[in-house]
Structure 1
Amino acid sequence: MKHARVIHKGRTLSVTESADGLLQLPNGRTLTESEVTWLAPMEFGTIFALGLNYADHAKEIQFAKAPEEPLVFLKGPNALVGHRGVSYRPADVSYMHFECELGVVIGLPCRNVRREDAYRHVAGYCTVNDYAIRDYLENYSRPNLRVKNRDGCTPVGPWFVDACDIADPMNLQLRSWVNGELKQNANTRDMVHDIPALIAHLSSFMTLSPGDLILTGTPDGVADCKVGDEVVTEIGGVGRLVNTIVGEPQPPL
């Protein structure tokens, strides 16, 4: 089942997807997606983000090879924004790019999980667009906080999809468009460190909790986004996420 959170007439509501693709409220009423304001599909715990987890993307940015050990950093919840939201491009940057990523949501507490048991601890999946502002990057092994933690620069959703509805999360198509032009077209099977490996690695030194979100990295095809661009990131069976780039508001005097 697909789950989401939206605001409708000033109320935050939990909705599911109806058989005809509409948003179904708990009372059975249905709405179109333009009748609501979308939030992140759930309240997440710790947010982990993977760098250089697709070999073609590592090559794209002149890395000789992807890291042998997962390159992981943390994100704050302030970075998240819902479907059809906006993300701000700072006025002083020259390169801000999208990243279509599969988000993995932990469902059960886990510590020292073996990779063969990892999927038992997964609640479900979501589509994520993890923007990066390349100008602020110190180096790829230690991303500056400003690269990945700016307010509203990580669209997520529209849906959280139950794990039981995704037959093989390591065989999902990822695509990104900018103003209708296809930029990314890859598959989750191309990950360097797959989902079980990531869960085993993270749980080897810390406890993962229900609601924790793992962003599993992006393939090649990233490109600079300008103010006014509409960026669509889509993962087959999980969701199609729409976002618009706007100029950063001026601080109050």
Structure 2
Amino acid sequence: MKLFNKLTVAAVGVVLGLAAIPGEANAASFGKNMVINGEFEDTKVDDNDWLRTDAGNVSGWQTTDEDGEIELWNQSFNSVNGGKGSDGKDTGNHLETNLDGIATISQTFTLAEDFGQNAIFSFDAWSRKNGTGKVSVFGSESGSLLNEAISMNGTSWTENLFKLDVFAGEEITIAFQGNEADSIDSPHIDQVFFGANNDPKFVQAAVPEPASILGILAVGAFGSASTLKRKKKQQA
């Protein structure tokens, strides 16, 4: 069974300069983003509005919602802190994890045979009312790689960043779920990234922990992987 390594905030902050993983500047270090539609931009959402739409209209993503629908926000919708989305712009979309009740939003993709064994997984999260949620990563060969509480810093966008050890060529499923049935309290997700870690300078604490076979988003205790928290700057 594969192991995943803890990251220390200090080490990652120095090496990466707290740069956003999905940016073009990091493409050489972190490879192609394996996540389809990781910024939820492929679906048209009117300015200053939100949308409930069939999951088939949100490329790459599936849901367990009983109506098969997903909720997206335009980044100019809602003036509360964080409403602009994690890139601080008035364009684009982000995901709200729960629509009418607790649901799991997931995506599965296959790693290339030359992907390597080291991966970076990151996403940004925010909640209107300090709601909580779970994030999970499962490998077809690795088993459960991650089963964590989503980390959020109050009502500001927070980056969650993990270094994972994987098998090249395996299928990876990433999944998000809010804990509260009321969607007002569920986490919002943006800038989802999963890519190869090709940066030899990427420093991690040498504290590996065995991944447990909990299955995807199993109810119960979470793993203890460390999360890099970064409060996102919001533009006025």
TM-score, length basis structure 2? 0.31
Larger Rg: 1
